[in-house]
Amino acid sequence: MSHEELFWAKVSIPEDRSLCWEWTGGFDRDGYGLFTRKWRKAHRFSYWLRFGVDPGSLCVLHRCDVPACVNPAHLFLGTHSDNAHDRHSKGRTKTGEWLGRPKGSASPNAKLTEATVADVRRRVSEGERQADIARELGVCRSSISQMCKRTTWAHVA
């Protein structure tokens, strides 16, 4: 069987061909259909089949916002920036979140609050040792260093 035949065997096309064509094979954790190693995502392979263009480093975006959809009429090319803008403009990201992951104290793994982070930065700028602050807060010194460099907690003023 060819790759194209294998692909179409995993697609459910409704009578109304303008609707989403559902991928029925495997999925990644974000709900995108997975196809072959080379293409990986089913909607990218669908785009290539219909338009004859390898998306390469470009993103294949969905007009319908259905990750499992492989209807080529619903797909278009864009840069990573276009993808982020599209996601934001359609309300799929919230302020303080990136890719749906909560930031700061909203994260279920957070040990500190934004107020604590602001206080830590102030204390370090006044000369207090990072190791002493880390011990007091029950975090490692590298966590203090990263928050002071704004590698983490960058959203805190």
**pLDDT tens sequence across 6-32:** 999 999 999 999 999 999 998 887 888
What is the domain count for the chain?
A: 2
Whether residues 47 and 9 share a domain: the answer is: yes
Closest among 156, 151, 69 to 106, alpha carbons compared = 156
| Domain-located, residue 98 | no
Spatial separation of the C-alpha atoms in residues 130 and 37, rounded to whole Å: 46
Q: Residue 95 in 3-state DSSP?
A: coil
CATH code, domain carrying 69: 3.90.75
Spatial separation of the C-alpha atoms in residues 139 and 52, rounded to whole Å: 53
Instruction: Indicate the pTM of the whole model.
Output: 0.59
Per-residue H/E/C for 50-65? HHCCCCCCCEEEECCC
Residue 139: domain span = 104-148
Whether residues 82 and 108 share a domain: the answer is: no
Spatial separation of the C-alpha atoms in residues 86 and 106, rounded to whole Å: 24
**pLDDT tens sequence across 85-111:** 888 787 776 444 445 556 788 877 788
| Domain-located, residue 154 | no
